[in-house]
Amino acid sequence: MEIKNEQDFREWKATTEASREVVQRAIDALNRGDSEGFINAFSEDFDFRMPGSTPVSGRTKGIQEFAALVGKVAGYLDVLITIKVTNFISCGEWVVTEAVGHGVTKKFEDYNNTYCHLWQVQNGKIVKFVEYNDTDLIMRVLCAE
């Protein structure tokens, strides 16, 4: 969005604040274990991508594919992952969060990953979500056999 006047600035600011709020609600739901609240933050056809070559990396399109991937990750865990955001940047419809996460694997090992999440929000829903993380840690701890 190109800001040419005061009205453009007000619209950009409102979009920035709304985008931040949508993402914060999704994170809060995740941390409460509210899977319905978390999933409801996303548009039906949103695009998710986690770069890498781990068993849980890849790209999904839509709620069903994403829910299946989340279920796959949960299958490796005894205690689901919660995240603590350490940096939160919003600009228009884009939000970037840097976070640390903690979960416990089925082998009762702590799983502490670091994340950079890129979120795009449109019309009150997350339409794009990209997760960058320590894929080596995923292989050594989360998905270790």
pLDDT by residue, tens only, the chain of 145 residues? 677 888 877 887 888 899 999 999 999 999 999 989 999 999 999 999 999 999 999 999 999 999 999 999 999 999 999 999 999 999 999 999 999 999 999 999 999 999 999 999 999 999 999 999 999 999 999 999 7
Q: How far apart are CA 140 and CA 137, in angstroms?
A: 5
3-state secondary structure the chain: CCCCCHHHHHHHHHHHHHHHHHHHHHHHHHHHCCHHHHHCCEEEEEEEEECCCCCCCEEEECHHHHHHHHHHHHCCEEEEEEEEEEEEEEECCEEEEEEEEEEEECCCCEECCEEEEEEEEECCEEEEEEEEECHHHHHHHHCCC
Q: How far apart are CA 139 and CA 131, in angstroms?
A: 16
- Per-residue model confidence (pLDDT) at position 94: 97
For the chain, what are the domain ranges? 6-142
Q: What is the CATH number of domain 6-142?
A: 3.10.450.50
Q: With a threshold of 0.95, does the pTM exceed it?
A: no
- Per-residue model confidence (pLDDT) at position 38: 94
**Neighbour tally for 97: CB within 10 Å:** 20
Tokens 């594919």, located at residue: 65
Q: Which residues contact 18 (CB under 8 A, 6 or more apart)?
A: 121, 124
- Per-residue model confidence (pLDDT) at position 1: 67
